Each structure stands twice: as C-alpha cells, then as structure tokens.
Amino acid sequence: MGFLYTIFAISAVYWAKDLKLKMNWWKWSISAVWFIFLSVTIAGGFTLIGENELRAGLYFLGVFGTVMIVSGVGLIQLIRSK
C-alpha cells in the first residue's frame, strides 16, 4: 500500500506538469490532506460495513463522500485559479 501511495504521489507531479497546473507548496499540502481525508473516509465507511453495520457504513460514505467530492471540486478550482 505504501508503494501504491508513493508512485501515486510521484505521478501526481508529472500530471501537474503536463496539465500545466501552477503548483506550489501549499497547494501540494492541501491536496495531500484532501487525499488523506478521502482515504480515511473510505476506510471508515468500509470498516463500518465490515462490522456488519451496512446502513451506517453507507450513510457514512454518502455524507462524507459527498463532502469529499464537493471539496475536491473546490480544490480543483483553487489549484486552477492562483
């Protein structure tokens, strides 16, 4: 898993260059934090499902997943603008 995250991070640099995104240190930090939150949201929702709490897990994913999607779009706009 660590390996997956590492090559994802490395490729992100290349993606940013190719998409001509003007990145700087705080944009990278916020993006990293966002991705961590996304990972935790998914892990949390599925932990609940694994615990046999299907309804709770789905609600969790629904609410926090939507928050992540919205903040993700916001993040993209933020990166693109400045």
Partner 1 sequence: MAKKDNAFDRRSFIKTLGLTGGILSLGGMAGAGLAAGKNKDSFTGYGRTAYGEDQFFNRKPFLVDKPTYEKVSKTRRIAYVENLFKRNGELYRLLYPRSNDAQKWSFEQGAEALPEPLKNYYQDNPGALDEFKKSMQKGREQRQNWKKYEKKYLLADAWSNAHASPIHGQGAFPHQPEGKPEDFDFKGVRKERLDFKSRKHASELIKKISHSFGASLVGIAKLKEEWVYQGYMRGVGKTDFEVPKHWKNVIVIAVPHEWDSLYANPTYGTSYDAYSRLRFIAGKLEVFIKEIGYAARSHVPPTSYEIAMPPVAIDAGLGEQGRHGVLITPELGANTRLAGITTNMPLEADKPIDVGIKEFCSKCKICAEECPSGAISFDNSPETIVRGYKRWEIDQDKCFTVWNSVATSHARGCRVCLAVCPYSRKNNWIHNIAREADPRDPTGVFSSALLGMQKKFFKYHGGQEYLPPPDGNNETFNEAPEWLRTEEWFDI
Partner 2 sequence: MRFVERFKNQLTWIVVTSLIVLAVFIGKNRSEQSKQEIIQQYYLESKYQIRQVNQNKWIIYDISDHNENLLYLGKAYGYNGEVEVLFEVDKDSLIQKTFPASHQETPSYFDKIIEKHFFEQFQGKKVAEFLKNKPVNAVSGATITSNAIIQATKNGYAQGENISVTETKYPLFGMLEIIVLYLFVAGIVMSKIKNQKLRKTLRWLTIFISLIFLGFIYNQPISYSRLSGLLLGNFPDWHKEFYFYILFTGSIVIIFINRKNVYCHSVCPFGAAQEILAKTGRAKVFRPAYYKKLKFVQRFIALTVVLAALSLNNPVIANYEVFSAFFQLTANAILFAVLFIVIILSLFIKRPWCHFMCPIDSVFDYVKLTRKSITGLWKK
| Residues in 14-43 that interact with partner 2 by CB under 8 A | none
Q: Report whether 79 contacts 29 (CB < 8 A).
A: no
- When asked if residue 75 is in the footprint of partner 1 (CB under 8 A), the reply is no
Distance CA 63, CA 66 (A): 5
Minimal distance, residue 77 CB to partner 1, in Å = 20
CA dihedral 53, 69, 34, 61 (to 10 degrees): 0
Interface stretch with partner 1, choices 23-31, 52-60, 70-78 (CB under 8 A): 52-60
Give the residues lining the site for partner 2 (CB under 8 A): 59, 62-63, 66, 69-71, 73-74, 77
